[in-house]
Amino acid sequence: MLLLSLLLQFTSVLSSPLTSRDLVVKHAWDVVPDGWHPHSVPSPTDTIKLQIGLKQHGIDQLITSLYEVSDPYHPRYGQHLSKSEVENLVAPHPNSVSMVEEWLVAHDIDIFGAVERSPAGDWLSVSVPISKVEQMLATKYHTYRHGQSSELVTRALSYSLPRILHDHIDVVVPTTMFGSLDMMRATHFVHPAGEIPVLTEAEAASVPDVKGPNGQNIPASCNTTVTPTCLQALYRTAGYVPTAAKKGNAIGINGFLEQFLNFVDLQTFFSKFRPDALGANVTVISVDGGLNDQTMPGVEAALDNQYTEGLTFPTPNVYYTTPGTAPTINDSVTPPQRDEPYMTWLNFILAQKDIPHAFTTSYGGDEQTFPKDFAVRVCNQFAQLGARGGSVMFSSGDGGVGAGTCQTNDGTNRTIFQPVFPATCPFVTAVGATFQIAPEKGIFFSQGGFSVYFPRPSFQDAAVPPFLRQLGNTYKGLFNPAGRGVPDVSAQGEGRPHSFQVVVSGEVVSVGGTSASSPTFASIVTLLNDFLISRGRPPLGFLNPFLYSKGLSGLVDILLGNNPGCGTPGFNATKGWDAVTGLGTPDFIKLKSLLE
């Protein structure tokens, strides 16, 4: 009798749709993504940390709630969700959990001892030999090398799941995600000692002023050399003193690609450009073993943190250092591969009880290099941050309408404009770049355009069509007119010829790019949050519904500039929203008055 029972169980497992060969492709590339070349074959005994994103049962309800609490004209405005409320909405359906667990068990994976679970249960992680992963996903992994960066990643060109699991799993990583993070800075150059006349606060005050768009006085030197003083004058935050530092207000700065913040450089920066902040520091939080090596100061880390602290002092600044170089699949004596940094950071921050109210990230990559299922899942995680009251800013990119060949990677080699992800996610605020003052102009590298993956969100329904009507048939076929438009807003990204003044290894460095614009705009948002929180009100949270409606009159429309790329002059800045500068640049005083 016992033997019969065991035989029946064995027969049941063999006939299960989870162990049958009824496999359906989940994602596949037609060709090796552009820039990557086969390098080697990993050992089948190497382990890979497989991450399985289960379908989030209430994600549609979460997005509905996100829009309601972010709409300044909705009764629920400002009623952000708690961590537990968000987790309840994104938790997978019990049926999804049981089906995926059955699949893992069928492949001899211990679901109790080997599997790690996110707080909401929507992510499962397990370390598995690559040979078993290949069996589970009906795929073959290879190590690929990037032609320009020499970065090595171990990836598959396709992966499959049992047909029955497609309704229960959003994405499995690492599989086909070749997207490579880029730092959004168009220029970075160290000037020889003495070449740049670094002005003290007193010297800057003696330079004749020019008038800003609202009649404010701005040092004329800001046309060529950007400092915190310039940004305070241009965006009218000068004189505002934050008071909500002890009431929970904070700004988070994301760091990837081994970008380390040097504390001595930070103090040197303060001594030159923000003397009253001397002695202040940034809290560094390691994510998944991220380092902050003081012997390797990073330009991007310096730019982001020196300017967020320089503009928001004494508001707490938090720097998250997340590994993301993805060397290759690792063996038992090598640290685990960290190759999905957005996902790693998002899973970390969403697991925290208390989070900053504003975030800035100056990294991204061409949207088409991210598999759509991966991009959508990551985007929905940004929606979770917004639902909890977080304002998420991303650099829009530094490639105009597209850098490089601008060819599609689907095997057809068509030329299309190339927007940058995650800036194309509708749940983040994409920040483009301007330069000069009186008037500000859209700068050539400010990346803008239209998403292929994400449709135009409702908050853009009034702002984007006028731009498209004015454009007419120009560039027809080179972009998706029904897609989410980027950027949403803009801020200074470069002064000519010296750009943002940053201290790296004790030297003044000039840095430009939308990597300067995003922390600048995020700093203005942080000051607005300070204003709200100090009066006992909730922070702004997901910004876009506010910016495209009530907040529109608090932005300065940029009317000059274009963003060439893909062999074209690109889009033009124009009245209203445009795909160079978005809705425009911030006016702190006007935005603050709209929130009173």
Q: What three-state secondary structure class fits 262?
A: coil
Residue 523: closest CA among 393, 434, 397:
393
Asked whether the beta carbons of 303 and 516 are under 8 A apart, the reply is yes
- Beta-carbon contacts of residue 123 (< 8 Å; ≥ 6 apart): 51, 52, 53, 54, 117, 347
Residue 230 tokens read as 């310039």
Catalytic site residue 494?
Answer: no
DSSP 410-422: SSS--B----EET
DSSP assignments along 73-114, one per residue: TSTTTT-PPPHHHHHHHHSPPHHHHHHHHHHHHHTT--TTTT
**Catalytic residue from among 96, 515, 517, 518:** 515
Residue set of the binding site: 557-558, 576, 578
Q: Which of 388, 373, 307 is nearest to 340 (CA)?
A: 373
Q: Say if residue 335 is preceded by a cis peptide, omega within 30 of 0.
A: no
- Residues, the chain, total? 596
C-alpha–C-alpha distance, residues 590 and 585, integer Å: 12
Burial class of residue 191 (count of CB atoms within 10 Å of its CB; 0-12, 13-18, 19+): middle
Tokens encoding 344: 């790693």
Residues placed in the known binding site for Ca(2+) = 557-558, 576, 578
SS3 category, 203:
helix
Backbone angles phi, psi at 148, to 5 degrees: -90, -45
Compute the chain's Rg from CA coordinates.
24
Report the first-to-last Cα separation within the chain, whole angstroms. Answer: 78
Which of 87, 151, 300, 340 does the annotation list as catalytic? Answer: 300
- Non-local (6+) Cβ contacts of 568 within 8 A are 401, 475, 478
Of 46, 304, 366, 530, the active-site residue reads 304
**CA–CA–CA angle 25, 28, 30 (5° rounding):** 135
Phi-psi region of 202 (alpha: psi -120 to 50; beta: other; left: phi over 0): alpha
Residues 6 or more apart whose Cβ sits within 8 Å of residue 166: 24, 26
Q: Among this protein's residues, is 151 annotated catalytic?
A: no
Active site residue 515: yes
Are 500 and 306 in contact by the 8 Å Cβ rule? The answer is no
Sheet with strand 187-190: strands edge to edge: 187-190, 507-512, 499-504, 225-226
Half-sphere exposure of 504 (CA within 13 A, CB side): 22
CA dist., res. 80 & res. 72, Å (int):
13
Q: What is the C-alpha to C-alpha distance for residues 173 and 461, in angstroms, rounded to an integer?
A: 34
Active site (catalytic) residues: 300, 304, 515
